[in-house]
């Protein structure tokens, strides 16, 4: 088979000592930027682009892809250990990763994150190797109506996210959607909802600002109140028994791995989505399909595996539209794409045939990078666990500083730091009132994507909603839309159905 030959060449290319050294170095940098709140793969790759002018393009892409990749692993570390999402792609990891750590099962959470990432990364790179050209065709046919249908499906899964209190969940979704409309009107380009004419609102509410506020600051306030500053984690011994237990817990996460890997890859190859929506959607769907969905949010390994698996899978997937269509599947690939153009490569349908060494070198390096990041991560777990030995009275100010720098870094404006603190207090109050906050975070990510796709579709259809339901004209959009409606109705009818059953039995 031709592909196998190319792939072996690619793997050998990335095993050359120079490329391999860059790859390992890149993974380490990625782990670091991923773990630092506010610094994500976007910043890491953007900062390193100029360095890549002095090395050959293949080495450059291997290096930057390793940074991208490492960051997907790294984000989980601060999500689990500190409760602050290290990167936007790791926000969903906080949902269950943090409660696991609080329960004293940080080891399990970190192992689940590392193994989940490895599985997601490996499955997606295999899919990439086998099906790249036909999948590029799918991405090409996936336009505005299809994107909107997918977003509706994502929102439908959120309704199940907040637990049984559906009205509170919907309230939370609407808050997120309202916040996501601040800034620039996506279609007319006019500013909207610029409160008090403060220029900081022109760039909208950055999703990380909300997530760091709610999870970092809000969580810290909550913990302080609960424990009066006296928390200290127990069960910190790292021995073979613990390791065995951690791996044992993974047996129950097979479904999460499947959903994360395949959904993540699929969302990743769609233009303009990327790893953040992929990880959030994967979490939502895994929770809804799980038998013990009520335990999600209180710390189940599957809740860590699903988003971690998906973000690695999506990051590989998003390389596909970048290479074959010249459009970025995520903010980070947007920068990689800029880099490729500067290195003198033209992304597009011909890249696979014109630059096989580059493309297959990259694909080969993903296999190797996956392996090395897994090994690095497992090996470093004892070091990460030391964070939990720090008394909370010392840890709290550190978390606060990390939150402030994390809020400042993405846009480099103090405006966002104030917003972040505001969201922290709001999140704390919402939590006291027992409102789920995860749906708000999810909808601020997907809100702009959904709005844009909806308005593009309606321009195309002259305002008719029929464009989403016409099976003969837009089969993909229609099928996704109908699935979304079923998903939306399911949680509402579930309790009703059960009640009906009970009535029948009593009657």
Partner 1 sequence: MSIIKKLALVVVSLSLVAVSSVSSAKPFSPKKPVELIIPAGQGGGADEIARLVQGVIEKNDYASKPVIPINKSGGSGGEAMTYVKKKAGDEHTLIITLNNVLTTPVNQPELGIDFFNDFTPLARLITDTFLVWIATEGKNTAGVETFDDFIDLARGNGLVMGGTGSMSEDELLLGMMRGQFGFDAKYVPYSGGGAVAKGLVGGESDFTLNNPSEQMGFYQSGDSKALVMMTPERNPAFPEVPSSYELGYPDLEYYMMRAFMAPAGIDAEVEKYYTGLLHTVYHDDEFQTFNIDDGKLMSWLEGFGLKDFLAIEYAKHGEIIKNFN
Q: Which residue has the tokens 């990625």?
A: 30
Q: Which is nearer to partner 1, 100 or 487 (CB)?
A: 100
Smallest gap from Cβ 264 to partner 1, in A, equals: 21
Smallest gap from Cβ 45 to partner 1, in A, equals: 10
Residues near partner 1, by CB under 8 A: 32, 35-36, 42, 46, 49-50, 53-54, 77-78, 81, 140-144, 183-191, 197, 199, 202-204, 271-272, 321, 325-328, 331, 334-335, 337-339, 341-342, 344, 346-351, 383-384, 386-387, 398, 411-412, 452, 456, 459-460
Q: Which is nearer to partner 1, 350 or 500 (CB)?
A: 350
DSSP state of 293: G
Rounded to whole angstroms, the Cα distance separating 130 from 132 reads 6
Q: Which is nearer to partner 1, 384 or 428 (CB)?
A: 384
Smallest gap from Cβ 360 to partner 1, in A, equals: 18
**Helix or strand run (H / E) with residue 263:** helix 254-269
Smallest gap from Cβ 333 to partner 1, in A, equals: 8
Q: Which residue has the tokens 């839309």?
A: 481
Smallest gap from Cβ 305 to partner 1, in A, equals: 21
Write the burial class of residue 234 (CB in 10 Å: 0-12 exposed, 13-18 middle, 19+ buried).
Answer: exposed
Strand, helix or coil at 234? coil
For residue 56 the two structure tokens come to 């050959």
Smallest gap from Cβ 238 to partner 1, in A, equals: 14
Strand, helix or coil at 184? strand
Q: Which is nearer to partner 1, 142 or 207 (CB)?
A: 142
Q: Which is nearer to partner 1, 297 or 339 (CB)?
A: 339
Smallest gap from Cβ 252 to partner 1, in A, equals: 27
Smallest gap from Cβ 41 to partner 1, in A, equals: 12
For residue 87 the two structure tokens come to 């990167």
Smallest gap from Cβ 170 to partner 1, in A, equals: 28
Q: 22-48: string of b/e by CB count within 10 Å (b at 16+)?
A: bbbebbbbbbbbbbbbbbbbbbbbbeb
Rounded to whole angstroms, the Cα distance separating 500 from 155 reads 27
Write the burial class of residue 368 (CB in 10 Å: 0-12 exposed, 13-18 middle, 19+ buried).
Answer: buried
**Helix or strand run (H / E) with residue 125:** helix 106-141
Write the burial class of residue 4 (CB in 10 Å: 0-12 exposed, 13-18 middle, 19+ buried).
Answer: exposed
Q: Which is nearer to partner 1, 292 or 464 (CB)?
A: 464
Cα 283 to chain centroid, rounded? 9
Confirm if 493 and 163 have CB atoms less than 8 A apart: no
Q: Which is nearer to partner 1, 254 or 341 (CB)?
A: 341
Q: Which is nearer to partner 1, 254 or 379 (CB)?
A: 379
Q: Which is nearer to partner 1, 16 or 143 (CB)?
A: 143
- Angle formed at CA 241 by CA 235 and CA 247, multiple of 5 degrees: 100
- Kindly give, in sequence order, each residue whose CB lies less than 8 Å from that of residue 192, ignoring residues fewer than 6 positions away: 181, 182, 183, 184, 185
| Nearest one of 95, 96, 76 to 36, comparing CA atoms | 76
Q: Which is nearer to partner 1, 285 or 340 (CB)?
A: 340
Rounded to whole angstroms, the Cα distance separating 310 from 90 reads 10
Q: Which is nearer to partner 1, 335 or 484 (CB)?
A: 335
Smallest gap from Cβ 7 to partner 1, in A, equals: 23
Cα 346 to chain centroid, rounded? 28
Smallest gap from Cβ 48 to partner 1, in A, equals: 11
For residue 479 the two structure tokens come to 């099928």
For residue 274 the two structure tokens come to 């990327």
């Amino acid at each position: 088979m031709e592909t196998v030959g190319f792939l072996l060449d690619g793997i050998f290319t990335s095993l050359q000592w120079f490329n391999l050294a860059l790859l390992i170095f890149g993974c380490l940098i990625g782990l670091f930027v991923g773990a630092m709140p506010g610094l994500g793969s976007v910043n890491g790759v953007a900062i390193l682009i100029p360095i890549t002018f002095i090395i050959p393009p293949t080495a450059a892409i291997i290096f930057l892809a390793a940074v991208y990749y490492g960051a997907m692993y790294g984000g989980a570390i601060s999500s689990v250990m500190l409760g602050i999402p290290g990167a936007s792609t790791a926000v969903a990891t906080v949902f269950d990763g943090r409660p696991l750590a609080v329960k004293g099962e940080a080891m399990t959470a970190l192992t689940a994150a590392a193994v989940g990432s490895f599985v997601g990364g490996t499955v997606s790179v295999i899919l990439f190797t086998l099906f790249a050209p036909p999948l590029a065709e799918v991405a090409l046919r996936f336009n505005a109506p299809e994107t909107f249908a997918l977003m509706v499906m994502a929102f439908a899964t959120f309704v199940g996210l907040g637990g049984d209190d559906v009205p509170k969940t919907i309230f939370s979704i609407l808050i997120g959607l309202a916040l996501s409309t601040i800034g620039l009107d996506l279609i007319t380009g006019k500013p909207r909802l610029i409160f008090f004419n403060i220029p900081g609102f022109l760039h909208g509410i950055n999703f990380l600002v909300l997530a760091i506020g709610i999870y970092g600051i809000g969580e810290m306030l909550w913990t302080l109140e609960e424990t009066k500053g006296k928390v200290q984690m127990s069960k910190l011994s790292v021995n073979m028994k613990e390791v065995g237990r951690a791996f044992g817990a993974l047996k129950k996460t097979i479904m999460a791995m499947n959903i994360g890997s395949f959904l993540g890859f699929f969302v990743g190859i769609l233009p303009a989505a990327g790893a953040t929506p992929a990880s959030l959607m994967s979490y939502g769907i895994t929770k809804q399909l799980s038998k013990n969905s009520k335990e999600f949010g209180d710390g189940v390994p599957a809740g860590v595996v699903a988003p971690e698996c998906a973000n690695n899978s999506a990051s590989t997937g998003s390389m596909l539209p970048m290479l074959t269509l010249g459009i970025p599947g995520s903010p980070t690939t947007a920068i990689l794409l800029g880099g490729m153009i500067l290195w003198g490569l033209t992304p597009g349908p011909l890249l696979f045939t014109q630059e096989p060494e580059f493309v297959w070198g990259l694909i080969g390096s993903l296999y190797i990078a996956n392996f090395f990041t897994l090994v690095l991560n497992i090996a470093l777990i004892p070091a990460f666990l030391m964070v939990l030995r720090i008394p909370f009275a010392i840890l709290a100010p550190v978390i606060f500083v990390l939150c402030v720098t994390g809020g400042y870094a993405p846009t480099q404006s103090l405006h966002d730091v104030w917003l972040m603190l505001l969201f922290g207090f709001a999140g704390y109050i919402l939590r006291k009132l027992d409102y789920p906050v995860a749906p708000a975070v999810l909808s601020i990510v997907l809100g702009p994507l959904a709005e844009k796709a909806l308005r593009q579709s309606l321009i195309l259809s002259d305002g008719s909603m029929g464009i989403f339901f016409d099976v003969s004209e837009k089969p993909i959009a229609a099928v996704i839309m109908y699935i979304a409606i079923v998903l939306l109705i399911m949680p509402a009818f579930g309790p009703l159905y059960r009640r009906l059953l009970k009535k029948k039995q009593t009657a």
